[in-house]
Structure 1
Amino acid sequence: MPYQDPSFIRPTIHPWRAEFADAALEQRFLHHVMPERNAQLKASLLFAAFCYVLFGVTDIATLGLGPTAWMLLGLRAGVALVALAGHAAVSRHPRSARVSELAACSALVAALAVFMAVAWFQPSAMPWNTMSHALLLMVIYVIFPNRFVYALAMGIGSSIFFAAMLFSHFPLKTDDLLTLVLLLVCGNAIGYIAARRYHVAQREQFHATVLLQQLAERDALTGCYNRRVLQRGLLDAELAQARRKGTALSVILCDIDHFKRINDTHGHASGDVVLDKFAGLLKAMTRASIDSVIRYGGEEFLVVLPQTDLAGAQALAERIRAAFAASATPAVDGRAMLATASFGIATVPERTPHPPARYETLVDAADAQLYAVKRGGRNGVRATSVAA
């Protein structure tokens, strides 16, 4: 049966948060989009700082150069300072989603609060201010990258506050009030639809990218990595880390004994069952998120064991060998199949002065040990230490 990784299944997106229901997947998504999101946020903060001060000329045009206009200009300058501070914080912490969200929320809350003050002191311009608030809603929902729930809370909250100002402070006719309130409702509705669609589309695109990457790097039968991950530098990266930290690194090259005989006797479908079972055993007996199991080719598998010395790798290989040899595998025709495997180990000892520069050196050493086991009768474990 072909392997199906659970992450290949369409992930659940929360209906009103517009985020992945799986918190780990959401964090992975945020890490993926953070460079693009922060670039957009920094541009939005600079634009907001400039425009908010620039539109101070409308306060002067409406109120004249009096104390109120100067006060509003000061408040506008305060919004610009908050936006610039957010820009600086995002620049200093480019990998922090929390800093990004805090910068966006701080700038928007400051802008909305000052806008309410501007509208309060300009009753004659209330229709224009209502239209300005509708534009601010688009800024909240669409222009500033932020969590959807935060944008929704600020959009609805500011609209309720603004509507309350309309009813309590400004002497407008009922039909005018109704028109302005409907404008706010429409602004929130359009912003909600656009923002939610954007957030969901971003996550669906991310999932498609992850899916394609997994399809390219995973063996369809066993779910193990394929050799592409070696070409992409997985083992070279582990070697570099072992060299930098002075830790041990081991690899185990495993081969199922007489696999051609299994295929010839029981059929290729039963051979696939044996491969899948052996791969499952390797994954079950290694450390998730630390060790890597790679289908190296045919019935050969490579196990990469960071921070594992020679004795630890030998003990693990022996446990896997004994478990595989002791358990029968049911063939497609119902007959029980017994199979064994051979293991070759190569280890870079901890604090070795001259570790190998390339992963092929380590794999070739393990391969030599594997074939020594094959020549010696199979179903065994051999190991060696490696230096450049």
Structure 2
Amino acid sequence: MPSQDLSPLRLTIDRRRAEFADPEFEDRFLRHFLPERNAQLKASLLFSAFFYVAFGVTDLTTLGITPIAWAMVALRVLVGVAALGGYVAVSRNPDSVRVSIVTTCTVLVVGLVVFPILCWYQPSAMAWNLMSFALVLMAVYVNFPNRFVYAVAIGVGASVEFAAMLIFQDTLNPDDILALVLMLILGNALGYIAASRFHLAQREQFRSSLLLQQLADRDPLTGCYNRRVLQSGLLDAELARARRYGSALSAILCDIDHFKRINDSYGHAAGDQVLSGFAGLLQSMTQTTDGSVIRYGGEEFLLVLPQAELPEAHALAERIRHAFANTPTAIGGGAYVSATASFGIASIPTLHAYVPPKFDALIEAADIQLYAVKHGGRNGVRGTIVSATPEPLAAGA
């Protein structure tokens, strides 16, 4: 299930770093776009490897068939090999954000360290080299997906290296060197602006899509997930995870007892306050369990607890039942309403022999347990292990 915490603090974007201020949320963003980023990165690696090596022909035509020319070709091949190695690393680790970023930085640094060496031995082609360097800067800031701060550090560092090469080469007059340095500053400034806008726009779009999804997935009264998550297959994804890793999974179906009486006696506004209070209790008591709370029906809620065995789910349900029964809800005017709730649990234990194909099987089994509690007087908890042929009245845990 997606994270329930979409607080403004977590969604804040640090505009200086062009990243989400919350590291965990930034990591979530990077993982969401990782397939797209890796596809762009692999294309950029192949493209740069080919042209970096192909331009070795210009070294041979400019310097002739000399040891220096062949040494420059060898350096180009080294960069090409680094790019191809990066391609292989990303292909073998498609789910690793770290590999993607390390590959990008490594290949760019290798290429940009070699580039001034190539330019040093071809001072007569300085105009072409400067144009080539401008294209390389564009790749650093735009074409190679990377963290914004790393792109800026690499772009500025490479420009300082290139400018130092021009100064120590001492083949240009001071006016030309000044003009070239100003062009390097301009190139980095434009790259900085373009990269910053791209990174910020991508994160703002991601934030907006999550907020829109939250509006669609949340019940406006209680703030819990609504039944749309059932239709979207998110619960079946939890079940598939339990099947794949052999982990436990529990579902708790809970219902406020005699809720119609509350509406009839105190009004629907009071009923809404009781619902909202019960939902808040459920959410607060599942925060530490990585659980999710869904408003399943009018006064009925579904708790999904990944990696929770039946005894753990039963203990949690008892804590919620006790807290709700002993905490009256304020309904205004100094009045309070006391209510109780009933709970039915269905669990899949660790390495269970039978894992149903659909989450509906857990809901059905939990519903049978909930009905048994209602039939037995309400304000109680019953649970069962899900099996291929579930017992309608399995013993309470």
**Bigger shift: residues 85-94 or 218-227:** 218-227
Q: Give the whole-Å Cα distance in 1 for the aligned partners of 2:158 and 2:198.
A: 22
**Where does residue 114 of structure 1 map in the other structure?**
114
Is 1:177 matched up with 2:208? no
| Greater CA drift, 43-52 or 170-179 | 170-179
Q: 1:94 aligns to what?
A: 94
Aligned to 2:391: none
- Is 2:335 the counterpart of 1:335? yes
| Offset at residue 229 of structure 1 (A) | 1.9
Equivalent-residue separation in structure 2 for 1:172 and 1:243 (angstroms)? 69
Q: Deviations over 1:321-363 (max 9, x none)?
A: 1211111111033311111112223344556544544333332
The residue number in structure 2 matching 1:18 is: 18
| Paired residues of 1:127 and 1:180 also in contact (CA < 8 A) | no
Uncovered stretches (5+) of structure 2, i.e. residues with no partner:
389-397
Specify the SS of the correspondent of 1:331.
strand
Q: Within 5 Å, which residues of 2 pair with 1:148-163?
A: 148-163=148-163
- Distance 1:233-1:115 versus aligned 2 partners, 3 A rule: same
The aligned residue for residue 217 of structure 2 is 217
Tell me which amino acid in the other structure corresponds to 1:328.
P
How has the CA–CA distance of structure 1 residues 241 and 193 changed in structure 2, closer, same or farther, with 3 Å as cutoff?
closer
Matched, 1:138 2:138: yes
**1:62/1:215 Cα in 2 relative to 1: closer, same or farther (>3 Å)?**
same
Matched, 1:69 2:86: no
**Shift of residue 173, structure 1, vs aligned partner:** 2.6
Match of 2:290 in 1: 290
Match of 1:278 in 2: 278
In the aligned structure 2, how far is the partner of 1:386 from the partner of 1:172?
A: 81
Letter in 1 for 2:231: Q
Read off the aligned partner of 1:133 and give its amino acid letter. F
Q: Aligned residue for 2:360?
A: 360
How far is the alpha carbon of 1:195 from its aligned partner? Answer: 0.7
Cα deviation for residue 244 of structure 1 reads 5.3
Contact kept, 8 Å, 2:148 with 2:195, in 1: the verdict is yes
Structure 1 residues 136-145 or 261-270, which shifts more? 261-270
Structure-2 separation of matches of 1:88 and 1:194: 29
Q: Compared with structure 1, are the counterparts of its residues 79 and 310 closer, same or farther at alpha carbon in structure 2 (3 Å cutoff)?
A: closer
Asked whether the equivalents of residues 12 and 21 of structure 2 are also in contact (C-alpha less than 8 Å), the reply is: yes
CA distance in 1, matches of 2:299, 2:351: 33
Conserved 8 A contact 1:137-1:191: yes
Give unmatched runs, 5+ long, in structure 1. none
Contact 2:10 2:25 in 1 (8 A): no
Mean Cα displacement is larger for which, 82-91 or 256-265? Answer: 256-265
User: Which segment drifts farther, 25-34 or 287-296?
Assistant: 287-296
Q: Residue 127 of structure 1 aligns with which residue?
A: 127
Is this contact kept in 2: 1:219–1:295, CA < 8 A? yes
CA distance in 1, matches of 2:199, 2:210: 17
Post-superposition offset of 1:101 = 1.6
**CA distance in structure 1 between the aligned counterparts of 2:204 and 2:305, rounded to whole angstroms:** 34
1:305 shift after superposition: 3.0
Amino acid at match of 2:156: I
The question of whether the paired residues in 1 share the 8 Å contact of 2:15 and 2:200 is answered with: no
Taking the aligned partners of 1:56 and 1:110, their CA distance within structure 2 comes to 16
Moved more, 166-175 or 6-15: 6-15
- Number of residue pairs aligned between Structure 1 and Structure 2: 385
Task: Indicate the SS of the match to 1:100.
Answer: helix
Distance 1:267 1:44, change over 3 A: same
Inter-partner Cα distance in structure 2 for 1:19 and 1:195: 12
Following the alignment from structure 2 to structure 1, what is the Cα–Cα distance between the partners of residues 247 and 26?
A: 32
The CA deviation at 1:367 is: 2.0
TM-score by length of 2: 0.89
- 1:227 CA drift (Å): 1.6
Deviates more, 1:34-43 or 1:213-222: 213-222
Identity of aligned residues (%): 63
Counterpart Cα distance in 1 of 2:374 and 2:343: 9
The answer on 1:267 being equivalent to 2:281 is: no
Q: How far apart in 1 are the matches of 2:105 and 2:351?
A: 49
2:78 counterpart residue number: 78
Identify the range of structure 1 (230-239 vs 16-25) with the bigger mean alpha-carbon deviation.
Answer: 230-239
Residue 374 of structure 1 pairs with residue 374 of structure 2: yes
Amino acid of the residue matched to residue 160 of structure 1?
A: V
**Partner Cα distance (1:244, 1:95) in 2:** 17
